[in-house]
A and B are shown apart, each in its own frame.
Chain A
Amino acid sequence: MAEQTVIEAVRQTMFAEMRRDSSVIVLGEDVGSRGGVFLATDGLIDEFGENRVIDTPLAESSICGVAIGAAVNGLRPIAEIQFADFIWPAINQLVGEASKVRYGTNGVKTAPMTVRVPYGGGVRGGLYHSQSIEVLFAHTPGLSVVAPATPYDAKGLLASAIRTDDPVIVLEHKRTYRLVKGEVPAEDYTIPIGKAEIKRHGTDLTIFTYGLMLHYSLQATEMAAAIGIDVEVLDLRTLRPLDEESIAESASRTGKALIVQEDTPAVSISSEVAAIIGERCFFDLDGPITRLGPPEIPPMPFSPIQEAEFMPSPEKILTAIKKLAEI
């Protein structure tokens, strides 16, 4: 098994899916000769040509609107939004339109499309290259939202997204692209949308997290282990639909829930996870459901000092672990 970065897993998966299925196309800004600004699509145009790897005008709404139309008419488009921060002009085509294609046509039409979205901060991206945009999409019935954090999960979830007959938003944390490496089997596999995974087994409390924060949380658990606290880490992986069974099972078993996210906490994924645990695990809990996230300011300052203060870190997570474990 070869070790790959997240970005390499994403790129190789697109190669594999485009070879496997001639209806898969890629469209987005700079995805052709440039290979995408993160090089996720590097080389695709050489193998598959301009017909299947389409450099679009700089216009996000039509990138997604065109993807819907192409999907409805038999293709399986992968639309790339260059930075998550730029997705807002396409909100109407995704939240308003794509999500309701199946429902609004009584199941006659479907939009088998994938939207790949590099998101997240800690990369000196300032206010407009750092945003977490998952909440609005995860709030929308009819959309699926996945946020793989490892190369293995990136391959399996991207393959699932492409093969699913409904729209899927694939959130790829920019910081993980080259930071995170892992084993990726060469053979074909998929990971079901809607399944969380325990990335570290533990008994004292559970961290519920996703994206870059998975890795920071895993680092924090090693520090916690050194002082005798055994922490479980559940990687949500899919943000809609959330894997309620796995969330409730782990929270009930450890009795303590710490939800860690990079997105601002108000009305967010952590709110929803907390609600699920509150509703389903109330009598099994022996501590308050705890959330750790950044302050409620626009994500996130360009200043390195302020950016570091904004981002949750392994140290901040450790502090939260200790506080909750001691209750």
Chain B
Amino acid sequence: MSATVNQSTNSTEQLSGERLVDLYRTMVLSRYLDERVWLLNRQGKAAIAASAQGHEAAQVACIEASDPSKDHYLIYYRQFTAMIALGTEPEEMLRGFLAKEADPMSAARQFPLHGAHPRVDLFNFSNVIATQLPQAAGVALADKINGSDAVTFVYFGDGASSQGDTHEAMNFAGVHKLPVIFFCENNRYAISVPQEKQMGIESLASRAAGYGFPGVQVDGTDVVAVHEATQAAVERARTGGGPTLIEASVERLLPHTTDDDHTRYRSEQDILQMSERDPITILSDLLKRRDLLTESEDAEIHTSAKNRVNVATDTVDAESYPGIESMFDDVTDGSVQGGNS
């Protein structure tokens, strides 16, 4: 069974050329910062990183269709670009990766990108795959009960689609027609396990039919397509139409994390081929074809991103790590429970 085709509603707005360039700028900044984090890992400064390289277009386009002033974002560990699209400064990102005291998400208690965002309602409690999906249904349930028109975005990869929590969450959201968007970034690999060993279907989006809401498969390297699909889903969610499952097909250009080596399980040809679907190149070409970006403007965007990342790296590298005192806080309202102290 194939996925249903996204029906764009009339009320959605097309992305302006200017806005497309803005999104491109965010993607380029994300890419340079992402590369820097990888480097910091190799220097022994960042213990772990999961790269968003290849996922950038899907992430910026989805966030672009949301309303950060009221919407909720339950992200997973690869949402690097989404964080930047939501206004997280490079310094703030690096504080998480370098486990600095000023890490705004969890004060270095958690892995990078885990914890709660200081300004938007974005959070990521766990490294355990798919636990955020039932939680997202709960967030959306509270909005529905309270009559809010906020939308809950929950992000996950193809790996998460195999978890029982994913089924339970979609089933619950379907029953209650909750304002939640299940946004799957399908890069076809759960670490090393390819899609054909994860599921017996071609398109994850087709599963939505089993829960009574639409599923849309979209090219996740295409900013415009992802934005349109997300806008339609947002419109449905805000007006009581219930959930949507969006499957954005993307490439994972780097190994699963800094601890992985994808040459152990991906062929040379596969690795070579996927670079043709680099969303930054794709958007850069599009902008130039439409005369929205000149070569020199593009070069300037790259230079500016590189400089921004350099400044942030120098700043954060010099910052302090948390002391041991804070590790005893925030266990419960009464902090550490019991114990023999």
**Using a CB–CB distance below 8 Å, which chain A residues touch chain B?**
25, 51-52, 54, 56-57, 59, 61-62, 64-75, 77, 89, 92-93, 96-97, 100-110, 141-142, 144, 164-166, 194, 240-242, 244, 276, 279
**Residue of B whose beta carbon sits closest to that of A56:** B172
Is the pair A92, B337 in contact by a Cβ cutoff of 8 Å?
A: no
Known contacts A57-B171, A75-B142, A75-B145; is A100 also within 8 Å of B125 by CB? yes
User: Given the known A-B contacts A104-B106, A142-B332, A166-B332, are A69 and B115 also in contact in the complex, defined by CB atoms under 8 Å?
Assistant: no
Q: Given the known A-B contacts A61-B165, A66-B134, A242-B338, are A74 and B171 also in contact in the complex, defined by CB atoms under 8 Å? A: no
Which residues of the other chain, B, contact A101 by a CB distance below 8 angstroms? 125
B109 at the interface (CB under 8 A from A): yes
**B332 engages A62 (CB within 8 Å):** no
What's the Cα separation between A38 and B107 when bound, in Å?
Answer: 44
Q: A62-B137, A165-B333 are in contact. Are A104 and B110 (CB under 8 A)?
A: yes
Contact (A68, B109) CB under 8 Å given A97-B125, A106-B115: no
Residue of B nearest to A62 (CB): B168
Q: Provided the pairs A65-B133, A93-B131, A241-B338 are in contact, do residues A107 and B330 lie with their beta carbons within 8 angstroms?
A: yes
Chain A's closest residue to B326 (CB) is A106
Contacts of B115 in A (CB 8 A): 104-106, 108
List of B residues within 8 angstroms of A92 by Cβ: 128, 131, 165
A66 vs chain B, min Cβ distance (A)? 4
B241 lies within 8 A of chain A by Cβ: no
Q: Which B residues lie within 8 Å of A54 (CB)? A: 141
| Given A69-B74, A105-B105, 7 other A-B residues pairs in contact with their CB atoms under 8 A | A54-B141, A69-B139, A69-B140, A75-B142, A104-B114, A106-B105, A144-B337
Q: In the bound complex, do residue B116 and residue A67 qualify as a contact, i.e. CB atoms below 8 Å apart?
A: no
Considering only CB atoms, which chain B residue lies closest to A275 in the complex? B340
Can you list 24 A-B contacts (CB < 8 A)? A56-B172, A59-B171, A62-B168, A62-B172, A66-B138, A69-B142, A73-B139, A73-B143, A74-B146, A92-B131, A93-B131, A93-B134, A97-B135, A102-B332, A103-B331, A105-B106, A108-B116, A142-B331, A142-B337, A144-B332, A164-B333, A240-B337, A240-B338, A244-B340
Given A165-B333, A242-B338, residue A65 in contact with residue B131 (CB < 8 A)? yes
Which chain B residues lie closer than 8 Å to A105 at the CB level? 105-106, 115-116, 123, 125, 330
Q: What count of chain B residues pass the 8 Å CB interface test?
A: 46
* Residue in A62, A107, A109, A141 whose Cβ sees the most chain B Cβ within 10 Å: A62
Q: At the interface, yes or no: B237 with Cβ under 8 Å from chain A?
A: no
The reply to whether B175 and A57 contact each other, CB–CB distance below 8 Å, is: yes
A114 to chain B, nearest CB (A): 14
Identify the 5 closest CB pairs spanning chains A and B, nearest first: A69-B138, A65-B134, A62-B168, A241-B338, A66-B138
Q: Min CB distance, B211 to chain A, in Å? A: 11
From B141, B168, B330, B340, A103 is in contact (CB under 8 Å) with B330
Selected from A56, A97, A242, the residue in CB contact (under 8 A) with B128 is A97
Residue B136 lies at the interface, judged by CB distance under 8 Å to chain A: yes
Q: Would you call A279 and B340 a contact (CB within 8 A)? A: yes
Q: Which of B116, B126, B334 contacts A96 (CB 8 A)?
A: B126
Closest to B142 in A: A73
Q: Check A106–B330 contact: CB distance below 8 A.
A: yes
Please name all residues of chain A whose beta carbon is closer than 8 Å to the beta carbon of B172 when the two chains form the complex.
56-57, 59, 62, 66
Given contacts A69-B141, A104-B106, are A141 and B116 in contact (CB under 8 A)?
no
Q: Given A57-B171, A69-B135, A106-B115, is A89 in contact with B141 using a C-beta cutoff of 8 Å?
A: no
Give the residues from 137 to 189 in chain B that come closer than 8 angstroms, CB to CB, to chain A. Answer: 137-143, 145-146, 164-165, 168-169, 171-172, 175
Q: Does A141 lie within 8 Å of B142, measured CB to CB? A: no
Interface centre among A64, A67, A106, A241 (most CB of B within 10 A): A106
Interchain CB contact (< 8 A) of A67 among B106, B114, B118, B138: B138
Q: Which residues of A sit under 8 angstroms from B128, Cβ to Cβ?
A: 92, 96-97
Chain A residues lying within 8 Å of B164, measured Cβ to Cβ, are: 61, 89
CB neighbours of A72 from chain B (8 A): 123, 135, 138-139
